[in-house]
Amino acid sequence: MSNPDSTLVPLHRLLYEEIVQKALAEDLGLAGDLTTDAIVTPGTGTAAGIISRTAGRIAGMDIAGAAFLSLDPHAAIETRVGDGCDASPGQALATVRGSARALLSAERTALNFLGHLSGIATATRNVVRAVASYGCKIVCTRKTIPGLRALEKYAVRAGGGSNHRFGLDDAVLIKDNHRLIAGGVEEAVRRVRRHAGHMVKIEVEVDTLDELEQALALEVDAVLLDNMQLDVLAQAVRMSRGKVVTEASGGITPANAPAVAATGVDLISIGWLTHSAPALDVSLELL
| Candidate list 33, 226, 247, 266, residue with the active-site label | 226
pLDDT given for residue 2 in this prediction: 39
Active site residue 281: no
Residues 146 and 110 reside in one and the same domain: no
| Residue type (1 letter), 98 | G
Domain with 100 in it: what CATH number?
3.90.1170.20
Q: Is residue 124 scored above 50 in pLDDT?
A: yes
The reply to whether 6 falls in a domain is: no
Residue 7 banded pLDDT, cuts 50, 70, 90? confident
Residues 116 and 76 reside in one and the same domain: yes
Per-residue pLDDT tens for 90-122?
A: 999 999 999 999 999 999 999 999 999 999 999
| Candidate list 143, 165, 201, 243, residue with the active-site label | 143
Neighbours of 251 (CB within 10 A): 9
Active site residue 53: no
pLDDT given for residue 216 in this prediction: 97
Residues 146 and 269 reside in one and the same domain: yes
Residue 197 banded pLDDT, cuts 50, 70, 90? confident
Residues 96 and 139 reside in one and the same domain: no
Residues 200 and 100 reside in one and the same domain: no
The reply to whether 7 falls in a domain is: no
Per-residue pLDDT tens for 245-272?
A: 999 999 999 999 999 999 999 999 999 9
Q: Is residue 88 scored above 60 in pLDDT?
A: yes
The reply to whether 125 falls in a domain is: no
Domain that residue 68 falls in: 13-120+277-286
pLDDT given for residue 3 in this prediction: 42
Cβ proximity of 205 and 176 under 8 Å? yes
pLDDT given for residue 283 in this prediction: 98
pLDDT given for residue 245 in this prediction: 98
Residues 143 and 90 reside in one and the same domain: no
| Candidate list 205, 211, 247, 266, residue with the active-site label | 205
Q: Is residue 4 scored above 60 in pLDDT?
A: no
Q: What is the pTM of this model?
A: 0.94
Active site residue 22: no
Residues 114 and 20 reside in one and the same domain: yes
3-class state of residue 225 by DSSP: strand
The reply to whether 22 falls in a domain is: yes
Checking 20-29 for CB contacts under 8 A at 24+ apart, the result is 20/63, 20/66, 20/67, 20/70, 20/109, 20/113, 21/70, 23/67, 23/109, 23/112, 23/113, 24/67, 24/70, 24/71, 24/106, 24/109, 27/105, 27/108, 27/109, 28/105
The reply to whether 188 falls in a domain is: yes
Query: Total domain count for the chain?
Result: 2
pLDDT given for residue 6 in this prediction: 60
- Containing H/E element for 255? none
pLDDT given for residue 5 in this prediction: 52
Q: How far apart are CA 185 and CA 181, in angstroms?
A: 10
In the chain, pLDDT over 90 holds for what percent of residues? 96
User: What average pLDDT does this structure show over 136-164?
Assistant: 97
Q: Is residue 1 scored above 50 in pLDDT?
A: no
| Candidate list 13, 175, 238, 241, residue with the active-site label | 175
Residues 261 and 140 reside in one and the same domain: yes
Residues 262 and 141 reside in one and the same domain: yes
Closest of 151, 167, 188 to residue 67, by C-alpha: 151
Residues 229 and 135 reside in one and the same domain: yes
The reply to whether 93 falls in a domain is: yes
Residues 142 and 80 reside in one and the same domain: no
Cβ proximity of 1 and 65 under 8 Å? yes
The reply to whether 219 falls in a domain is: yes
Active site residue 157: no
Domain with 260 in it: what CATH number?
3.20.20.70
Residues 173 and 73 reside in one and the same domain: no
Q: How far apart are CA 206 and CA 202, in angstroms?
A: 13
User: What average pLDDT does this structure show over 168-190?
Assistant: 94
Active site residue 175: yes
The reply to whether 251 falls in a domain is: yes
| Residue type (1 letter), 280 | L
